[in-house]
Amino acid sequence: MRSIIFAFQKLNVATIGSNIEEAKRLLSSGEIVGIPTETVYGLAGNALDEDAILKIYSAKNRPKFDPLIAHTDSIEKITNLVKEIPEKAKLLADRFWPGPLTILLEKESSVPDLLTSGLSRIAIRIPNHPTTVQLLAELDFPLAAPSANPFGYVSPTSAQHVQDQLGDKISYILDGGPCKVGLESSIVGFEGDDVVIYRLGGTKVESIEEVVGSVKIQVNESSNPAAPGMLKSHYSPGRKMIIGDIEENLQSLPKERTGILSFSRVYDVPEQNQVILSSSEDLDEAARNIFSALRKMDQPHIEVILAEYLPSEGLGKAINDRLRRAAV
Ligand code: TXA
Ligand code: MG
């Protein structure tokens, strides 16, 4: 009996390891694998193989109108996937790749429509994580990789997070340690002469503007695939969340049942009910901590989460965007 239970459990748990060869073997045979990046962990499969792409959508329970990002390790490999690389895209790629920036470019017809949900542009980035860069260098195809979480839930920033939520859907997770940025990539595209940011993320708006001048920010909630990005209700920690003055909002709530997600201040609630994003008020540190903080709030005894907006500068803009979506 025990061995039957053991065998059953084994079937439902992915192996977490650092074997790049094993990841390569699985991906080359059309399987999907958890991979580390500097932003969040991805759920990867061959971006040119429709069956592998379907496995990704299905494991995440993600609607097929929400397209996937393709990851490669060099600009040379991208030239086969896109019609052209505009001058401003080259400037951004030179400055930020490898790194947390995704660029939308007109796709070649050989790129499966399933990857881009029928849109004319493909989303591409070169991630900045040594393990995944090595893996990509050894593969002769790009990797489609959305964040490795069930659709609508918080993105994973450790291999264990992937295991907790998708461990029964995949057999291998490549471990690259905790994510150094902690927020998904920023997404940019070009509309005429405008550079448009469709998702605030790990590359600061200020840094992008240093390279291409002022940008349009178009991150409004949408479920329209033509307006890329993110559905309004996303990053759900599975609890009601109120963003505002924590001290004031706490007054009318039972402390034992209230979770607190603050920038730096400690509040008068049980210790296990609160997370401080950065005691030194460092926005980069807060970005690294935000998703694990939202996960920590997912405890049965917590009924309401109180959070506050961070200063709207640097990565604070992207953190506030995620908080706003988590609170819907
Ligand atoms: O940092 C990241 O970008 C992570 C890591 C794994 O690279 N990936 C990630 O993927 O966050 P995902 O699928 O969770 O979010 C990608 C976003 C989605 O909101 C999607 O709508 C948008 O990018 N997107 C992907 N392809 C697109 C396209 N062709 N046109 C417009 N939006 C696109
Ligand atoms: Mg995602």
Of 184, 217, 250, the one marking the end of a domain is: 217
> What per-residue string of b and e applies to 273-284 under the rule 16 or more CB within 10 Å gives b?
bbbbbbeeeebb
Q: Quick check: is 225 in a domain? A: no
Q: Quick check: is 28 in a domain? A: yes
Contacts of residue 87, defined as CB under 8 A and 6 or more positions apart, other chains included, come to none
- State how many domains the chain has: 2
How far does residue 122's CA lie from ligand 2's centre (Å)?
A: 16
* 200 and 261, same domain (yes or no): no
Q: Is residue 67 within 6 Å of ligand 1 at its C-beta?
A: yes
> pTM for the full model?
0.94
Residue pointed to by tokens 């990539």:
185
Q: Is residue 184 within 6 Å of ligand 1 at its C-beta?
A: yes
CATH number assigned to the domain comprising residue 35: 3.90.870.10
| Domain of residue 183, residue span | 15-217
Instruction: List C-alpha distances in Å: 165 to 79, 89, 148.
Output: 35, 35, 8
Q: How far apart are CA 164 and CA 168, in angstroms?
A: 9
* 194 and 254, same domain (yes or no): no
Query: ∠87-93-94 over CA atoms, to 5°?
Result: 90
How far does residue 149's CA lie from ligand 2's centre (Å)?
A: 7
* 120 and 265, same domain (yes or no): no
Q: Quick check: is 228 in a domain? A: no
State mean pLDDT over 253-264.
Answer: 97
pLDDT tens digit sequence for 10-22 = 567 999 999 999 9
pLDDT at 231: 57
* 31 and 180, same domain (yes or no): yes
**pLDDT greater than 70 at residue 5:** no
Parallel/antiparallel/unpaired status of strands 69-71 and 121-125: parallel
Q: How confident is the model at residue 127 (pLDDT cuts 50, 70, 90)?
A: very high
- What residue type is 13 in one-letter code? V
Contact 271, 299 (CB under 8 A): no
Contact 121, 188 (CB under 8 A): no
**pLDDT greater than 60 at residue 283:** yes
Q: How confident is the model at residue 49 (pLDDT cuts 50, 70, 90)?
A: very high
How far does residue 278's CA lie from ligand 1's centre (Å)?
A: 27
Q: Is residue 167 within 6 Å of ligand 1 at its C-beta?
A: no
Which ligand approaches the C-alpha of residue 106 most closely?
Answer: 1
Residues of the chain with pLDDT > 70, as a percent, come to 92
Q: Quick check: is 233 in a domain? A: no
Of 168, 184, 217, the one marking the end of a domain is: 217
Q: Quick check: is 211 in a domain? A: yes
Q: Is residue 183 within 6 Å of ligand 1 at its C-beta?
A: no
* 147 and 255, same domain (yes or no): no
* 191 and 312, same domain (yes or no): no
pLDDT at 66: 94
Question: What is the pLDDT of the chain when averaged over all its residues?
Answer: 93
pLDDT tens digit sequence for 285-301 = 999 999 999 999 989 99
* 37 and 83, same domain (yes or no): yes
CATH number assigned to the domain comprising residue 281: 3.40.50.11030
Contact 317, 206 (CB under 8 A): no
* 98 and 210, same domain (yes or no): yes
Instruction: List C-alpha distances in Å: 325 to 17, 62, 143, 154, 244.
Output: 32, 17, 27, 10, 14
Parallel/antiparallel/unpaired status of strands 258-262 and 304-307: parallel
pLDDT at 227: 45
pLDDT at 1: 45
pLDDT tens digit sequence for 59-102 = 999 999 999 999 999 999 999 999 999 999 999 999 999 999 99
| Closest C-alpha to 82, from 90, 46, 196 | 90
Q: Quick check: is 3 in a domain? A: no
* 73 and 201, same domain (yes or no): yes
Our mutation pick for probing the ligand 1 site, out of 69, 117, 198, 288, counting the most ligand atoms within 8 A of Cβ, is: 69
pLDDT tens digit sequence for 189-231 = 999 999 999 999 999 999 999 999 999 999 866 545 444 445 5
* 213 and 246, same domain (yes or no): no
Q: Is residue 180 within 6 Å of ligand 1 at its C-beta?
A: no
How far does residue 155's CA lie from ligand 2's centre (Å)?
A: 6
Q: Quick check: is 8 in a domain? A: no
H or E stretch at 259:
strand 258-262
* 112 and 148, same domain (yes or no): yes
* 259 and 149, same domain (yes or no): no
**pLDDT greater than 50 at residue 242:** yes
Q: Quick check: is 1 in a domain? A: no
Look at the chain and count its residues. Answer: 328
